[in-house]
Structure 1
Amino acid sequence: MASHRRPKQPSRTRVTVLTATAAAAVALTSQAAQADPKPTKKEVKAKVDKLYEEAENATEKFNGVKEKQDKLEKQVGDLQDKVARGQGELNELRNGLGSMATAQYRTGGIDPSVQLMLSSDPDSYLDKASTLDQLSTKQAEALRKIADKQRTLKQQRQEASTKLEELAETRKTLAGNKKEIQGKLSKAQALLNSLTAKERAALAAAEAERANRASSRADLGNALPSSQRAGAAFSAAQSKIGSPYVWGATGPSSFDCSGLTSWAYSQAGVSLPRTSQSQANAGQRISSQSALKKGDLVLFYGDLHHIGLYAGNGQILHAPKPGASVRYESINNMPFQFGVRV
């Protein structure tokens, strides 16, 4: 006989699971539909430019720490040389003291009064006794010199040890700065790689056109340098137009911003500090753009992480950013802070 029982209804638990699964699928589909669209070429460029600016900021920090490392390495080297020379001098003093002790021992250790009584020639003994007194005086002086040299060596070794610890911390900081810079540049490159080959080529062409236009059509007016050395520095920087920006570079074939200014002034016989923040204190500050003269240093951004040379007629000459080359640019393209006349 055929069965007429009603089919078994799905359990409430099973219905709940199926409903939840369906809801999750709908949510995922909705999220996919609402996901952020691929950034446009303009948006990518804005993000890349921001990363480049941050990388340049980190570069100036790197430059400052690198300068400190170089100074510490020299100080440690000088201290180690002093310690080595001092140890050599100490060894000579000890050898001299040993020679004197040996000579004194060879004269005999008999009590002077007994030796005088036994001597058949008192005058000869008195000469020997006088020599012994001189040896004792020399020994005392040698011991004093040895003690002084030991104290000096101890101080120098302690100073060298402190400098070595500071150098180790500085190198650690330097590695962190380097990692930060490389990280930002890598992010920028990843963003650029998200564009099509055609879009990347368009951005590169636009950057090249901007550089060529800025350098070939720059109207510098009739601005005169504030001094012969400022003029010489500016001429040196002009000779590097088209050289690539490379973080940490100080020339002669590539530069970062402060690397260009320090190199340019070095060609004029002027030594500038390594970083833009330090160069900001290298001369007389000029607060007004209208008072700037050719060759003056020009500082940008609140933290002074970018620097260039005033070129005249509202133009600067600088190493702009990663991916760009030394070129002229309007002073108004960045937040001007002040100028410095070296």
Structure 2
Amino acid sequence: METHLRWTRRPNRLARLLVATLGGLSLALGVTGLAHADPTPGEIEKQIDAKWNTIEPVIEQHNQLKLELAANKTKQKQLEDQIAPLKAQVDAAFDKVSAFAVMQYKNGRVSKLDAMLTTGSPDTFIDQMTMLNMVAKDEQDRIKDVLVAKQQYDAQKGPLDELIAKQAEQEAALNQQETQINADIKNLQDMRLQAYGSGNGTGSLKPVACPQQYDGSPGSRAAQFGCQQIGKKYVWATEGPNTFDCSGLTMWSWKQVGVTYLRHYTMWQYQDTKRVSRADLKAGDLVFFYPDKHHVGLYVGNGWMVHAPNPSQPVQMKKIDSEPISGYGRVA
């Protein structure tokens, strides 16, 4: 019940949040998104960062709401499962009494005098009435107990049904807001890549813009930190800031955005991350190579990664398909 009370007070606050956020987005797009004729990649990245700071609370609120809604739907299903047999018992008890009455009185609800006249004997009528009253009393007691239990479950389910309806509306509103902000970020990302132009790289080490995907999320910022290390030397067993090995680079890049649980060993990092598919890859995900997973790179989008290859080559960008992939990992 406390959850119900808490959520019933949220719709107005949520509505204000949606209006303020969407209004802020429109203002940001109108003033800073398209006002500059030739925004630099850095300027666009600042706009993306601002939008990410707007969407991140929405995403977290959405995550919380989805969990609470799922939990409440589970409770609703449990109550429905408990109510269904009680309703069946009530119906069966009423049917039993009704059937017995029909059998005794033919039409179910005639007067006792009419019933007596049809029996042919007052003694027979008395016996029939006594039996009917005993059966009815027994069934009435059963019905009463079942009805009390059903009413208790109904009393719990009613407010829960109302809460689920409100949460479903809130989820739809949050989903719409999330969709809109993500669309804004995508538009800015397209502008960002266009601003880099075709000759934006630094030779073979950075042939294209790095990262290729940037939405202001921790993953894309970790990828950005990794990209900034391009050109630095590979030194075995080091983890920055001046030299790196492969797992040292991924570990250091994520540490810059506050993630400290990645360990300095490729197989450990595989264990430290959540499995994702190639279709779901995002900037900041880890890509593992070879059956023994002895190499790892930091995904930066569009099939590219930044990695520390070996002592003969510095940190650089490379297509992930250039080496045999053995798995993907997401830093939660």
TM-score, normalized by length of structure 1?
0.45
| Larger CA Rg, structure 1 vs 2 | 1
TM-score, normalized by length of structure 2?
0.46
